[in-house]
Amino acid sequence: MVLEALTRANDGHAMAYGSDEITARAVGRLRDVFGADTEVFFVFGGTGGNVVALSTLVGPGDAVVCTQWSHIHVDETAAPERLGVKLVPVASADGKMTPDDVRQAAGVLGTVHHAQPRVISITQPTELGTLYTTSEIAELCDVAHSFDMLVHMDGARIGNATAAFGGVEHARSFTVDAGVDVLTFGGTKNGLMFGEAVLYFTANSRGDAVRHEALRRAVRYAPYARKHATQLPSKMRFVSAQFDALLADGLWVELGGRANAAARRLYEGVAPITSLGLRHPPAVNSLFPTLSPSAVSALREVSFFWEWDTSVDLYRWMTAWDSTDEDVDAFVAAVRRIVVG
């Protein structure tokens, strides 16, 4: 469907920079999910989306609080800081920030010698494959807002999270309705060729005047921040056409659910192998097994996967929106043959 949408978008002429009917339709679909007050900015990729979002939320001397596992901290080659966004990582065992982390970070507010924490950035699902509950996000937002901080959510795999919560109708519950201010909505990890979207939630039931003014200011800056970060597509319809297809009939959640189901199938197939150390079913589409170097080399001939923490022989297995039962079963068979012998 996504490729077909790209082909259709390539027929004829259209206005540049998002002034086209396809982009308007895709924006409308996102507003159908998250609310009519949602401001939408399409970008090329996830790192660019995060940079655009965060750069609009901070001013001189401000900082973004995140966990030490955050993609913005670990895997974006200091892109946020290259564009002036100071990151303050906090330790987390499960990839999730806590209200106490926010309170501790807020302890430097008003001290001129310290970067001022003005934003917290959380990832849903986290880089460790865990999920924040709706109540956990709401509490984080309440605490952050009590210190006049804004809340950014990195939703690179938001389709997986929404599927885990039960469907499209739950998308608002852990985002805008929980108090999240800005969301980087992932598309590339959920079936798009390229493209993400930055969403600003300028009004919701948990809002206040101070925060809304900060968000309105961020929205005013966003077009310039997007251009500054080289994330403004001139032929934007080729990004928005993909979103139009992905958002139609809940396809984005369906694909996220497929990836989650594939991970559960993988877990069920290999969980009895105790040396892997897989103690709990995956919340979304990632597993973190312990593997010997020899097993890694042999298994990578079947399917590539990344290391996670080689100091403790920990690796990451990810399933995708297009992982089939046959793919999973073949990998399970390889794990049993190579690891168990």
Verify that 163 and 263 share a domain, yes or no. no
As given in the structure block, the two tokens for residue 67 are 């966990």
- Note the pLDDT of residue 109: 97
- Note the pLDDT of residue 204: 62
Last residue in a domain, options 194, 223, 250: 250
**pLDDT, average across residues 293-322:** 96
* pLDDT confidence bin for 317, thresholds 50/70/90: very high
Last residue in a domain, options 229, 250, 271: 250
For the cut 70, the answer to whether the pLDDT of residue 190 exceeds it is yes
Range of the domain at 215: 2-250
For the cut 70, the answer to whether the pLDDT of residue 207 exceeds it is no
- Note the pLDDT of residue 330: 97
Verify that 274 and 245 share a domain, yes or no. no
State the Cα–Cα distance between residues 331 and 291, nearest whole angstrom.
Answer: 14
Residue 108: count of CB within 10 angstroms of its CB: 15
**How would you list the strands of the sheet with 286-287, edge to edge?**
286-287, 314-318, 306-309
pLDDT tens column, 241-251: 999 999 999 99
CB 291 within 8 A of CB 299: yes
For the cut 90, the answer to whether the pLDDT of residue 226 exceeds it is yes
Verify that 204 and 322 share a domain, yes or no. no
Angle at 316 between CA 314 and CA 320, to 5 degrees: 170
Q: Residue 266, SS3?
A: helix
State the Cα–Cα distance between residues 318 and 159, nearest whole angstrom.
Answer: 14
**pLDDT, average across residues 59-68:** 97
**pLDDT, average across residues 62-74:** 98
Verify that 223 and 278 share a domain, yes or no. no
Q: Between these two residues, 208 and 34, which has the higher pLDDT value?
A: 34
DSSP-assigned letter for residue 275: G
Report the CATH number that the domain containing residue 55 is assigned in CATH: 3.40.640.10
For the cut 60, the answer to whether the pLDDT of residue 205 exceeds it is no
**pLDDT, average across residues 196-220:** 84
- Note the pLDDT of residue 213: 87
For the cut 60, the answer to whether the pLDDT of residue 296 exceeds it is yes
Residue 36: count of CB within 10 angstroms of its CB: 8
Report the CATH number that the domain containing residue 324 is assigned in CATH: 3.90.1150.10
- Note the pLDDT of residue 266: 98
State the Cα–Cα distance between residues 37 and 52, nearest whole angstrom.
Answer: 19
As given in the structure block, the two tokens for residue 325 are 């039962």
Verify that 161 and 288 share a domain, yes or no. no
DSSP-assigned letter for residue 326: H
State the Cα–Cα distance between residues 222 and 57, nearest whole angstrom.
Answer: 9
- Note the pLDDT of residue 197: 98
Closest CA to 44 of 229, 187, 185, 231: 231
pTM, entire model: 0.96
* pLDDT confidence bin for 206, thresholds 50/70/90: low
How much is the mean pLDDT over the chain?
Answer: 96
Verify that 183 and 131 share a domain, yes or no. yes
Verify that 96 and 117 share a domain, yes or no. yes
Largest CA distance in the chain: 63
For the cut 80, the answer to whether the pLDDT of residue 89 exceeds it is yes
Q: How many CA atoms lie within 13 A of 234 on its CB side?
A: 1
**pLDDT, average across residues 16-28:** 96
| Structural domains of the chain, count | 2
DSSP-assigned letter for residue 167: S
Verify that 183 and 290 share a domain, yes or no. no
Last residue in a domain, options 203, 223, 250: 250
CB 188 within 8 A of CB 205: no
Verify that 216 and 281 share a domain, yes or no. no
* pLDDT confidence bin for 208, thresholds 50/70/90: confident
pLDDT tens column, 131-171: 999 999 999 999 999 999 999 999 999 999 999 999 999 99
Q: Output phi, psi for 141, to 5 deg.
A: -65, -40
> Which residue shows structure tokens 């009939």?
249
- Note the pLDDT of residue 218: 96
pLDDT tens column, 50-62: 999 999 999 999 9
Verify that 270 and 229 share a domain, yes or no. no
Verify that 280 and 221 share a domain, yes or no. no
Verify that 128 and 38 share a domain, yes or no. yes
**pLDDT, average across residues 81-109:** 96
State the Cα–Cα distance between residues 46 and 152, nearest whole angstrom.
Answer: 13
